[in-house]
Amino acid sequence: MSKMRKALIIGISGQDGSYLAELLLKKGYEVHGTSRDADLSNFYGLKKLGIFNKVKLHSMSLIDFRSVMQTILQIEPEEIYNLAGQTSVGLSFLQPVETLESISVGTLNILEVLRFHKLPIKFYNACSSECFGDTGGNAANEETPFKPRSPYAVAKSAAFWQVANYREAYNLFSCSGILFNHESPLRAKRFVTKKIIDTACAISHGENLKLELGNISIIRDWGWAPEYCYAMHLILLQDQADDFVISTGTSTSLEEFVNFTFQYFNLDYKKYLVLKKEFIRPTDIGFSLGDSSKAANLLHWVPKVHVNEIIEQMIKNNLSID
């Protein structure tokens, strides 16, 4: 019998970590996952998907080199997916040091363990479309220069170039997926998409609420998280390590997202929307759109779920919980 492949998902407690764990389990992997404190994390996503008892969980601090080294050497995985670090763009303005350390230093610690111990492990790094900044109405691909406009994007950009440098300098199989926005019912409450869904559902139940937002004219490329996690896995299945933009190629404004959501309940969103200056970030991206032609050609990855379907799935999940 062939040996069961092992995968280590660093930051397994989030949306992407949960869906990726589900995918890898279906493919016959032995899945390990880390959280800063596995005993205190609630692992909502893993429990929601019914796989909590099927993964092996470990406590690990990404900014502690010894912790990273001990965990990797103990598990000896064939694949590592780094999805950890401070994940909120808005929060990064309030916690810039924590953001930089958890993303940039954390990624560097993983790379150094792989280099120092000469481990033949395939490494996936979660990069972000935020690194591109505002592309001025053009779709961003792998050749588009980075112009980060938040501490989060600066940290992700640094991690991206670390991965590329270690790939070229030390011949590590290290890759970055530059993922555009992707949503699901497992999206955390602090994200604006989840806030919109939750508020609309509450209003439909008769609650006297207002939807408080900042800049609703921003345009984003929203995809379906499970499809994006599949793309992560495909990136590590390639013979050559490389970086890929993962997106839908379809743009939607935040106002349109709100409108789609409220239309589901036959509600006029304008009656409930309140714009507040305090929700506007110091710097923000007006337009974000991706070009995943490379992923389509080399990975044979093509997104199938439209933003309207994503909204509907998030609403149905919310209503089923209620």
Return d(Cα 248, Cα 140) in angstroms, integer. Answer: 11
Is-catalytic flag, 128? yes
Beta strands in the chain (DSSP E): 6-10, 30-35, 56-59, 79-82, 122-128, 174-179, 182-183, 211-213, 219-220, 223-224, 244-246, 252-253, 273-275
Which of these is catalytic: 19, 152, 228, 230?
Answer: 152
130 is catalytic: yes
Q: Are 111 and 172 in contact, with CB atoms under 8 Å apart?
A: yes
Token output for 272: 């409930």
The one catalytic residue among 130, 157, 174, 228: 130
Task: Give the separation between CA 127 and CA 64, rounded to whole angstroms.
Answer: 21
CA angle 252, 298, 237 (to 5 degrees): 105
Identity of the residue numbered 133 = G
Find out whether 25 and 98 touch, Cβ atoms under 8 Å: no
Give the active site residue among 13, 92, 128, 251: 128
Residues annotated as catalytic (active site), given as ranges:
128, 130, 152
